[in-house]
Amino acid sequence: MTIDIDHFRARRARVLDAIAARGGGVAIQPTAPEVLRNRDSEFPYRHDSYFYYLTGFPEPEAVVVLLALGARRESILFCRAKHEEREIWDGYRYGPELARGVFGFDAAHPIEHIDEELPKFLADAPALFYGIGSIPRFDEQVQRWLGAVRALARTGVAAPGALHDLHVILDEMRLVKDDAEIATMRRAASISARAHVRALRACRPGAREYELEAELLHEFRRQGATGPAYTSIVAAGRNACVLHYRAGDAELNDGELCLIDAACELDGYATDLTRTFPVSGRFSGPQRAVYDLVLAAQAAAIERVRPGNSFHAPHEAAVRVLTQGLIDLGLLAGSVDGAIESGAYRQFYMHRTSHWLGMDVHDAGDYREPGAAVDDKGERPWRRLAPGMTLTIEPGLYIRPAPNVPEPLEHIGVRIEDDVLVTPTGREVLTHEAPKRPDDIEALMRG
Ligand code: GLY
Ligand code: MN
Ligand code: MN
């Protein structure tokens, strides 16, 4: 990975401006703690997304502090000191001196000094900007620093009089991706698409779900991705109707569909990709009917992704196409408007069509217009899409046995999910390399 200091510096500068615009203060953002799996074994380390967004610094035990106090603008890193013995066991550490230059900070200190330094920054600062409740153990540390400043009251020093949620500022920024983020997300999407192609090629009746999962993981790592962005779903047959199914040991049977919802994380950015295909390489008639319907709903939803449209518009489009199709298939009765109004379609489509995507698979960002007045239902209007926003488009149908379900349609579960960037003129489907037209899927599986 290349460290592009300028992007991280520019983001810190924007946050400093936002703090200054709110009267100035001190912002604190720690990275994520390491998490024990059992005894002394840790889960693979994953940085905190907010911290990484501001720093690009990959090590645990680090905190970034931003000072916007009068004319003073500084960004300061606290990180682990160099430590010969620990580096023999755990690996390289930058240490403050080197980290300051490489990551473009004004100053850097050993993390051991933070209890001493932080109260000095907070003394007489008008406000603290901090995302309380995000890392509870760190909240206690922040309270201690505030307590240390309050204890000095009689010396004439004041603690910050206001607490602002730093994440409100960062969420707005993270919602609109910059060029560096878009470039990373394009590469991540391409790797995820190639992993799906690999799994599709490896699919044969008699294989197990975990074998396809292994193909996905192989391709993620082979292409330099960190690993999966979320727990991979490889769902054979009826397992596709369990929304949060994980890749298990079920056999992939001739005549069934397989649903794969799996994608990689690359340089801190997630992809989210779902494809559904026939295990034998040929869709049956009923499978094809359901698949074509979901694909048409997805096309209608993707078409609604453009600047100025509401976040809700793609979902509305998908629901309308799906509901009409469910009526045509005989699964629902009555009119389209009636089945939408009553929510009858939710028997087969019970999740939403989109979520924001970025550093986190369900990414930061308000889905409603921030600060907008509520309507007569007490709701703020949905967010207007703007260039640089990235969202998934992922309609599906999950047909569990029920009195209104004919037997040939039972247990069919289909979802088709792509990652879509809003562009100035419309949209770009980042995951376009993963085939989804039935003919293309069948041809690939034959080949
Ligand atoms: N893979 C998680 C999701 O589709 O939202
Ligand atoms: Mn998704
Ligand atoms: Mn997904």
What pLDDT score does 210 carry? 98
Digit-coded pLDDT (tens) for 298-319: 999 999 999 999 999 999 999 9
Q: How many domains does the chain have?
A: 2
Would you say residue 121 has pLDDT above 80? yes
Q: How many CB atoms lie within 10 A of CB 81?
A: 16
Digit-coded pLDDT (tens) for 36-52: 999 999 999 999 999 99
> Based on the domain organization, do 145 and 230 belong to the same domain?
no
What pLDDT score does 207 carry? 97
> Based on the domain organization, do 292 and 164 belong to the same domain?
no
Q: Can you tell me whether residue 294 is helix, strand or coil?
A: helix
> Based on the domain organization, do 162 and 220 belong to the same domain?
no
- Mean per-residue pLDDT, 234-258: 97
What pLDDT score does 329 carry? 97
Reference 61, options 32, 89, 90, 93; nearest CA is 32
> Based on the domain organization, do 410 and 327 belong to the same domain?
yes
Would you say residue 2 has pLDDT above 70? no
- Please state, in angstroms and rounded to a whole number, the distance separating the CA atoms of residues 82 and 97: 9
Give, using CA atoms, the residue closest to atom 3 of ligand 1: 272
Digit-coded pLDDT (tens) for 194-209: 999 999 999 999 999 9
- Mean per-residue pLDDT, 116-122: 97
Quote the ligand 1 centre to 241 CA distance (angstroms). Answer: 14
Domain closes at, from 125, 153, 174: 174
Would you say residue 424 has pLDDT above 60? yes
> Based on the domain organization, do 137 and 181 belong to the same domain?
no
Domain closes at, from 136, 154, 174: 174
- Mean per-residue pLDDT, 153-160: 93
Quote the ligand 2 centre to 397 CA distance (angstroms). Answer: 14
Pocket mutation for ligand 1, best pick of 196, 213, 350, 355 (most atoms within 8 Å of C-beta): 355
Q: What is the CATH number of the domain that holds 242?
A: 3.90.230.10
Residues with CB under 6 A from ligand 1: 230, 261, 272, 355, 361, 394, 417
Q: Which atom belonging to ligand 1 lies closest to the Cα atom of 230?
A: 1
What pLDDT score does 354 carry? 98
Token pair 């085939």 in the structure block, residue: 435
What pLDDT score does 337 carry? 98
Catalytic residues: 40, 244, 261, 272, 351, 355, 362, 394, 398, 415, 417
> Based on the domain organization, do 160 and 188 belong to the same domain?
no
> Based on the domain organization, do 79 and 201 belong to the same domain?
no
Q: Exposure of 272 by Cβ count < 10 A (0-12 exposed, 13-18 middle, 19+ buried)? A: buried
Largest interatomic CA distance in the chain: 81
When pLDDT is cut at 50, 70 and 90, the band that residue 334 belongs to is very high
Count, residues in the chain: 447
Domain closes at, from 135, 159, 174: 174
Digit-coded pLDDT (tens) for 272-290: 999 999 999 999 999 999 9
> Based on the domain organization, do 20 and 152 belong to the same domain?
yes
Q: What is the CATH number of the domain that holds 132?
A: 3.40.350.10
Would you say residue 447 has pLDDT above 90? no
Which ranges of 203-261 would DSSP assign to H, the alpha helix? 209-222
> Based on the domain organization, do 115 and 89 belong to the same domain?
yes
The mean pLDDT value of the chain amounts to: 97
What pLDDT score does 153 carry? 85
> Based on the domain organization, do 220 and 335 belong to the same domain?
yes
- Mean per-residue pLDDT, 53-72: 97
Pocket mutation for ligand 1, best pick of 392, 393, 419 (most atoms within 8 Å of C-beta): 392
Helix (H) or strand (E) holding 78: strand 72-79
Residues 114, 115, 118, CA angle at the centre, nearest 5°? 70
> Based on the domain organization, do 127 and 187 belong to the same domain?
no
Quote the ligand 1 centre to 417 CA distance (angstroms). Answer: 8
Domain span at 266 = 176-446
> Based on the domain organization, do 194 and 326 belong to the same domain?
yes
Would you say residue 410 has pLDDT above 60? yes
Q: How many CB atoms lie within 10 A of CB 211?
A: 18
